[in-house]
Amino acid sequence: MFAFILGCLYLISALIYLLLINEKFNIFGFIFNPNNRKFLIIFDAPFLLISFVAIIEETHWFLFLIFFMHALNSMTLLVKPQLFYHSKDQIELMSETSMNNYLVIMTSVVGIGCLLISYF
């Protein structure tokens, strides 16, 4: 059940990203603004919590991967935020359009993966 909820949350996030991209909102400018660090931690918390509960409910390597990625992201923002914001230079090497597409595709793939885990 929690893997299903997590999948729905990811798919809703993908739709929100598409809406923001359609409105010409600079998602990565928002993410890499140090003033928005608390928002990012709060935004990441439900994904971290639900993925942890989904692991307890149903052990699967995909759920472990999701949990550890969110845990790593949150811990980096909490403990070493300069490391997180330093990665902005590497991301700027790619075009904004390709990064937006990557964000939507990866969020959708993870959401569909969670839905498949909950189905089987």
Q: Are residues 7 and 115 in contact, defined by beta-carbon separation less than 8 angstroms?
A: yes
Reference 21, options 90, 102, 88; nearest CA is: 102
CA distance 14 to 20: 10
Model confidence pLDDT, tens digit, residues 4-13:
999 999 999 9
Model confidence pLDDT, tens digit, residues 26-69:
888 888 888 888 999 999 999 999 999 999 998 899 999 999 99
Instruction: Read off the pTM.
Output: 0.87
